[in-house]
Amino acid sequence: MIIDTLDNAGLYRNLGPRFAKAFDYLEQTDLATLPDGRNDIDGDDLFAMVVDGPTRRMADAEWEAHRNYHDIQLVTEGIEQMGFANVEDLSETMPYNVEQDAALYAGEGTMVPVPAGTFVLFAPQDAHMPSIAITDPSRVRKIVVKVRV
């Protein structure tokens, strides 16, 4: 898991050509005008999901992890908490679903506040719990870039 701001995106371009293209997209696109839902960058290898909605209470959330994609979750408006934990430290509650590229887990992890302008990069070994309210649920807009492994 990496947490940083787009000001430092250059530090992460060397993770691979898809990461370089993902950070170029985040820096060069007018993110405020992107429509909600999927926005293709490079087909199924690299795409962005625009999510605009309320945060939720931790009691209403589960840990999730993916096998085929890294997530770069950039908050563009509002603030939320995101949790992270190694999948090996959690108990699986829903087996991996190929179509959803996700498995669900239960257990303990670490929560971090993620204000607007901040991104979190989750790798496949990083279970994550995004969109958690800091106190009361509030609106957050974010761009989730899916980077194929």
Q: What is the CATH number of domain 2-148?
A: 2.60.120.370
pTM: 0.95
Positions of the chain with pLDDT lower than 70, given as ranges: none
Domain spans of the chain?
2-148
Dump pLDDT digits (tens) for 81-118.
Answer: 999 999 999 999 999 999 999 999 999 999 999 999 99
Burial 13-42 (b: 16+ CB within 10 A, else e): eebeebbebbbebbeeeebeebeeeebebe
